Structure 1
């Protein structure tokens, strides 16, 4: 087997729809989803990401599925205000463009669990998802300890804890971003149906790239869960807006998509085989993804350059 990093299939377990740097003109707005799909594709091509799970609008997911079948598997956000969550889960499972659901059990505004979680409003999501085999991402914003009860009640349901279980800025308030809930995440490792989305760790670094100071905690996470229950996600449109890395820069550019991937891809903390799992293999297995296609690009030269 090759150990060349360029031979790895890279699957990003979370992107949101990117937006142009400036508002679109009125006559362009009907093509918003097209712009977003192509911006995402170009960003992925630029750093070598083969597939990205699209945690976005259905308009983006459906258009991406039409243009690049299999490259943007959809993750549908299941809002607790929906009047029939069980039927919504079944609808998503039946859609070939979708591979998972997402439950917003934590409130990003205050980094607390939503009261609806304790009231049982999310229960139909988990019960129906277990029945139909739909993996569920869980945005806990630091409340990952509460997922233990769900894992116990639904042992055949694939549960993925977003953002290594901690609240993260930008989105949650800066003061809520701490490693403290990470201890609760490690406790979840005893449930074999619980997986972790390795996303946003550089935000908790006190250093610039390659964020070496996050590894003591990441090493503990890998020791607890193993390398076959952790999948990398970038959430690059959020991390690029962070007030990081530290130091003098001509412009604020946050944590770039490339830095987000490369601190893992080029790390000496993981073997080639472990990188193959975390950076793609686990996502491919969990979501039963189709093979990559040679039709995905990069786009051909069409403007006469080099002639």
Structure 2
């Protein structure tokens, strides 16, 4: 099984006044080291909204290891006028799609007022997958999916609000399952340990994930870590899916852990995975004590969480 992480923020610099997930930047080289230790073969690298870096810097870094990292371009809903050039200049072996974060009121407004119509039309015409995070935009997303049936859209973090925990997260996932009728929609199961905590029954998470599987099928659900927001270490996030939730996936685990996202983004893997010795464990997934966390997340605000 070739494990592919669908959601990792990478950055070097922080926009003045912004609050990143952690104080130490996660550069591509640091990400590769973390991947090696956790048994992750490949990852989608994208810039967070609060990074002061630009897409070209990330594309240049990712292009040095195209078999392990893919480039997802960050798009602001307020891009300059020459929008088509903005996208076409990124067309490269490592380029696999674009992402828009519409998690604040002014950004969310662009989803419904036509500001982003150029993106949907261009992505449809050029067959560019789009990743989106817009928890409060469910109705507008449904309208978009109906209007653009050829648009390949992925909702990051199962479109869960940053503050949704346990039962609230389960209720939100139930709502998301109703959107599975749109075959051009896929879902990232990213940052799960942040939304389902260990002080709630494990069955709550398992039942929510099972409902998502029954609605979307295994080919439209993609595991992702959202590494810099994890309340546990990287390996624990992997094992939560491959061991704790293995009964949910059964023999289809390879689709969720990498095969699905690779096909959705047209990023075929090498014939053999980049293998390392993976650590063993004999105890259930648990939240790591603060002193053992490799990269504890900083307190998040609504605007800095994606």
**Partner secondary structure for residue 75 of structure 1:** strand
The reply to whether residue 147 of structure 1 matches residue 141 of structure 2 is: yes
**Partner secondary structure for residue 42 of structure 1:** helix
Alpha-carbon distance between aligned partners in 2 of 1:145 and 1:221, rounded to the nearest angstrom:
19
**Per-residue deviation, 1:179:** 4.0
Which position in structure 2 is the counterpart of 1:69?
A: 66
Which position in structure 2 is the counterpart of 1:262?
A: 239
Check conservation: 2:160, 2:172, Cα contact below 8 A: yes
- Tell me how large the CA RMSD over aligned residues is: 3.0
Check conservation: 1:106, 1:113, Cα contact below 8 A: yes
Which position in structure 2 is the counterpart of 1:11?
A: 4
Check conservation: 1:64, 1:72, Cα contact below 8 A: yes
The answer to which structure, 1 or 2, has the higher relative contact order (CA under 8 A, 6+ apart) is 2
Alpha-carbon distance between aligned partners in 1 of 2:137 and 2:46, rounded to the nearest angstrom:
20
**Per-residue deviation, 1:154:** 1.1
Alpha-carbon distance between aligned partners in 2 of 1:225 and 1:294, rounded to the nearest angstrom:
28
**Partner secondary structure for residue 99 of structure 2:** strand
The reply to whether residue 60 of structure 1 matches residue 58 of structure 2 is: yes
Could you say which structure has the larger radius of gyration?
Answer: 1
Check conservation: 1:47, 1:258, Cα contact below 8 A: yes
Which position in structure 2 is the counterpart of 1:97?
A: 94
**Partner secondary structure for residue 154 of structure 2:** strand
Check conservation: 1:17, 1:36, Cα contact below 8 A: yes
User: Deviations along 1:167-205, whole A, 9 cap, x unmatched?
Assistant: 125xxx98xx74443333112100000000111222222
The reply to whether residue 184 of structure 1 matches residue 175 of structure 2 is: yes
Which position in structure 2 is the counterpart of 1:302?
A: none
Q: 1:49 to 1:228 in 2, by over 3 A?
A: same
Check conservation: 1:198, 1:231, Cα contact below 8 A: yes
**Per-residue deviation, 1:215:** 1.4
Alpha-carbon distance between aligned partners in 2 of 1:257 and 1:209, rounded to the nearest angstrom:
21
**Per-residue deviation, 1:91:** 3.0
**Partner secondary structure for residue 114 of structure 1:** helix
Which position in structure 1 is the counterpart of 2:30?
A: 39
Which position in structure 2 is the counterpart of 1:122?
A: 116
Bigger shift: 142-151 or 41-50? 142-151
Check conservation: 1:36, 1:60, Cα contact below 8 A: no
TM (normalized to structure 2)?
0.75
Q: Which 5+ residue runs of structure 1 have no aligned equivalent?
A: 1-7, 21-31, 240-253, 299-307
- Which residues in structure 2 correspond to 1:76-225 (within 5 Å)? 76-84=73-81, 85-92=83-90, 94-107=91-104, 114-169=108-163, 178-207=169-198, 211-225=202-216
Q: 1:16 to 1:209 in 2, by over 3 A?
A: farther
**Per-residue deviation, 1:294:** 7.5
Q: 1:86 to 1:148 in 2, by over 3 A?
A: farther
Check conservation: 1:89, 1:129, Cα contact below 8 A: no
**Per-residue deviation, 1:64:** 2.5
TM (normalized to structure 1)?
0.74
Bigger shift: 130-139 or 209-218? 209-218
Q: 1:146 to 1:204 in 2, by over 3 A?
A: same
Q: Which 5+ residue runs of structure 2 have no aligned equivalent?
A: 14-23, 48-53, 277-306
